[in-house]
Structure 1
Amino acid sequence: MGVRKQAGDREFQAFVVGRWPRLMRTAFLLTGEQHAAEDLVQSTLEQVYVAWHRVASADAPEAYVRRVMINAHARRYRRKLREFLVPRSEDAGLTHEVADTGDRIAQADDRHTLLKALAELPTRQREAVVLRYWEDLTETQTAEAMGCSVGTVKSNAAKGIAKLRAISGLAETVTQGGRK
C-alpha cells in the first residue's frame, strides 16, 4: 500500500471518528430508527471512502458527506415507498437513539413523544427541520444539503414546525418543561 493511500486512510479514519456521533444523530433524526440510521451512515461512509480524495479536497467535507447522506436517505425512502406503501408502526423503535452528550434533543422531557412526532413528518419537512434546527445549519447550507432552493427550505421547515406545534402531546411536554 502506497504512502499516499495510507495517509488518505488515516485522514478518512480521523474524519469518521470525529464526526460519528453527529452523523449518527442526523441519520437517526432522518430515519427515526436506530438500525436504519446505522445502515444509512455506513452506506454513506462506504460511498465517501471510495471518493475520499475528492471529498477531502472539498471546501467543506462534512457538508459533502451530509449531502451524500441526504441523497442516500431520499433514494431509500423512495424505494421503500414504492415497495411497501404501508403506514409506519406505532413505535418503530424510536426510543433507541445513540446518546450524544451535546445532543439538544436529550434536554426534552419526553424523548419518545418528540421523536415519534418528528418521524410522522413528511420526508422533506423532516429533513428541513433536522438540518435547520438540530444541526443548526443556515437556510443556505440546508438548501445546499437538500439540493433545493432557500425558499423550499423555508417552506418545508415552517410546515414541519407547524405540524410539530399542532401535536398536543408534544406541546404539553414543551410547556411542562418551561419552554414555549
Structure 2
Amino acid sequence: MHRSPAEHKAVVYRRVFDENWPRVRRHLACFLDDADEVDELTAEVFVIAWKKLDPARPMGLTWFLRTAANKVRDANRRARSKDRALDALTRGLQHPSAGVDPLESLALRDALGSLNARERHVVVLTYWDDLTAGEVAEVLRCSQASVWTTLTRARAKLRRHLDATGGES
C-alpha cells in the first residue's frame, strides 16, 4: 500500500508527537505556573512542528526543547515577571518524591533563585529534562564546553548558597 505525501507526513507527525509531547510538556511546566498556559504553549510548539515538518528529516527532542524555550521566552516577555518565571522554574520541587525532605526542596528552590537565568536553564535541562551536555548545547545553541562551564558555576553557587543557609530556607 502506497501512502500519499500528506498521509506519510501525518504518520511521521504522530510518531514525533507521541515521542516528544510528554517531555516538552514537562519541560514547559518547569517554567510556567499555569497548567492551562503549559498546555497552550505545548500545543503551539506542536503546531509549529506540523508546519515545519519534513517527513524525511523529522525534528528531534532538542528541536522541540529549543522551540519550547523560545515560547517560554515569549511568554515571559509578555508577563514581564521575573518572580513568576523563577517560581515556575522550580515547579518540579513543589511535588518532591517520597524520599526528599520538603525542607530540602524549599532550600533548593531558594538556592535556585541565586542563579542567573542561563544557569537556571542549564540546571533545568540537565537535571529536570535529563539531557546530556551535548543535548543542552544543542538546545541553547552553544558549545558543550560552555554548558560544562555554566553547570560547574551553577553547582558551585548552589553549594555555596546551601552551605551558607545550612540547607534551610
Give your verdict on TM over 0.5. yes
Say what the alpha-carbon RMSD is for the aligned residues: 3.8
Of residues 163-172 and 68-77 in structure 1, the stretch that sits farther from structure 2 once superposed is: 163-172
Q: Is the 8 A contact 1:131 1:142 kept in 2?
A: yes
Task: Give the TM-score of the pair, scaled to structure 2.
Answer: 0.68
Q: Does 1:17 align with 2:18?
A: yes
CA distance in 2: counterparts of 1:170 and 1:5, whole angstroms: 59
CA distance in 2: counterparts of 1:144 and 1:91, whole angstroms: 25
Unaligned runs of 5+ in 1: 100-104, 174-180
| Aligned position for 2:75 | 76
| Aligned position for 2:63 | 64
| Aligned position for 1:177 | none
CA distance in 2: counterparts of 1:48 and 1:171, whole angstroms: 42
Residue aligned with 2:167, SS = helix
Q: Does 1:109 align with 2:101?
A: yes
Summarize the alignment of residues 128-143 of structure 1 with structure 2, pairs less than 5 Å apart. 128-143=122-137
CA distance in 2: counterparts of 1:130 and 1:170, whole angstroms: 23
Q: Is the 8 A contact 2:111 2:162 kept in 1?
A: no
| Aligned position for 1:26 | 27
CA distance in 2: counterparts of 1:26 and 1:52, whole angstroms: 21
Q: AA paired with 1:24?
A: R
Q: Does 1:148 align with 2:150?
A: no
* CA displacement, residues 64-89 of structure 1 (integer Å, 9 cap, x when unaligned): 22222223323433x24xx6356449
Q: Is the 8 A contact 1:34 1:94 kept in 2?
A: no
TM superposition shift of 1:145: 0.8
Number of residue pairs matched by the alignment? 160
| Aligned position for 1:178 | none
Unaligned runs of 5+ in 2: none
Task: Give the TM-score of the pair, scaled to structure 1.
Answer: 0.65
Q: Is the 8 A contact 1:132 1:139 kept in 2?
A: yes
Q: Is the 8 A contact 1:34 1:93 kept in 2?
A: no
Identity %: 22
- Residue 6 to residue 146, structure 1, CA distance change in 2 (3 Å): same
